[in-house]
Amino acid sequence: MKLENRTLAEIKVGDEATLKRLITTDDLYVFAASSGNFNPMHLPAPGVAHSDPVAPGMFVASLISAILGTTLPGAGCLYRHQTLQFHARAHAGDELETRVRVIEKHADGRLRLATEVRRTSDGELIVSGEADVEAPKAKLIAEVEEVPGLIVQRHRHFEKLVARAQSCESLRTAVVMPEEENSLGGALLAARDGLIVPLLIGNRAKMQAVAQAIDATLSDYEIIDASSPLEASRTACKLVRAGRADAVMKGQLHTDDLLHPMLDKDEGLRMGRRFTHIFVMDVPGLSYPLLVTDAAINITPDLQTKMDIVQNAIDLALSIGDGTPPRVGVLSAVETVNPAIPSSIDAALLSKMAERGQIKGGFVEGPLAMDNAVDPAAARTKGLRGEVAGHAQILVVPDIDAGNMLAKQLTFISHAEGAGLVLGARVPIILNSRSDSAMSRLASCAVAVLHHERTKGQGA
């Protein structure tokens, strides 16, 4: 970043400069952490998707110092005095424009500037005042290294889900082939935290060896021998059908091997809807869990399958949420219906189906592009109104490519944690990757517990 200041000799009365800045929830978390101001009015309400917290007045005022220190006068400027009058409130999602104008210039090096901050969408004045500063005496042109970025990393949503699930009855869970350290360790961790009672299905000798390697014991848990993935998955189905298991958990086997026996019409776990996968993402800086579906099972879903994808996601969101109807954004490349983009047509149809009661329990809107699905400012810029735009809690992707990429971008770029669950079967199916963290595994079990608690007696 190149900085060039303006010395007293270069500055004239009437000179002015402007700077635009979009306020994000991350800005408010960082300001709270650095200032110690934890007023809840200035932070997103926990679990409330439509929460646009008020930006602290001094955060808005700090935008004035930013333009004084970088542009007019620029590097070398020092404050002497600043007056502030607050006229209105800014919120997360607002874009603000800061303006400074030189109104007096003194021979001793002092400048007096009129300062103001306005909201760009409607021009409303947020803050006004005057600044008295010392102008820089020496010319400075420099390349300034970018300040290291900050990541607001808080996985408070998963912690709350685990705490809620611990107040429920432990879930009897058929754990299929936990024959390596991550899958067995994750099941035992969830058992120790009171989330599940594992029924371990697989090669007894291998599981005992893994337990010994991680300094654990299996003496408290039932072990059912199975020599192959197919046999282990079929055994899990039998346990569910016999009423001995209320959930299934994936161990060290391919997802297709786990699900294939469960899709059998006679001996499997089908109950009418398509099996669909849902990621529950704890995204740093986002004030609610974000659901992404379907990113693991249905490759190129047709409209009927997307109906099940949406309905399953709504059902899960109701289980882990506060009881209010979840907001579903059906994604496409655009936010308008384009006959050349099939996903935009499907999105519009799903939105209409929800309006007519064919999809129940939530608000469904589409097509929405990714930006205006989750960002209030982007939604306002496009003129989108309604319950969902800018505040989607569930993102329905066009196909497995888009879903997989979105979930992994959230994980590896945005530093999110992801819990995975398959719905559409008689019981929830806990689906974890071998690379998942301990918190991801616990959260997956917690989500399954909460969903079972809400839907027991109804099927998954």
Domain 155-271, CATH 3.40.50.10950 — does that match?
A: yes
The per-residue pLDDT for 456 is: 82
- DSSP secondary structure string for all residues of 173-227: EEEE---SHHHHHHHHHHHHTTSEEEEEEE-HHHHHHHHHHTT---TTSEEEE-S
pLDDT in tens, 153-201: 657 789 899 999 999 999 999 999 999 998 999 999 999 999 999 999 9
Token reading at 68: 């004084």
Neighbours of 76 (CB within 10 A): 16
**What mean pLDDT is predicted for residues 300-327?**
96
The per-residue pLDDT for 49 is: 42
Q: Are 1 and 143 in contact (CB under 8 A)?
A: yes
pLDDT in tens, 392-410: 999 999 999 999 999 999 9
CATH number of the domain located at residue range(s) 272-424 in this protein: 3.40.718.10
Whether 50 shows a pLDDT value over 50: the answer reads: no
DSSP category for residue 108: T
Task: Compute the distance between CA of residue 309 and CA of residue 88 in angstroms, rounded to an integer.
Answer: 43
Spell out the domain ranges in the chain: 2-143, 155-271, 272-424
**What mean pLDDT is predicted for residues 1-11?**
85
Q: Which fold has domain 2-143?
A: Thiol Ester Dehydrase; Chain A (3.10.129)
Whether 76 shows a pLDDT value over 50: the answer reads: yes
Asked if 2-143 and 155-271 have one fold, the answer is no
Task: Compute the distance between CA of residue 169 and CA of residue 219 in angstroms, rounded to an integer.
Answer: 21
pTM over 0.85? The answer is no
The per-residue pLDDT for 47 is: 42
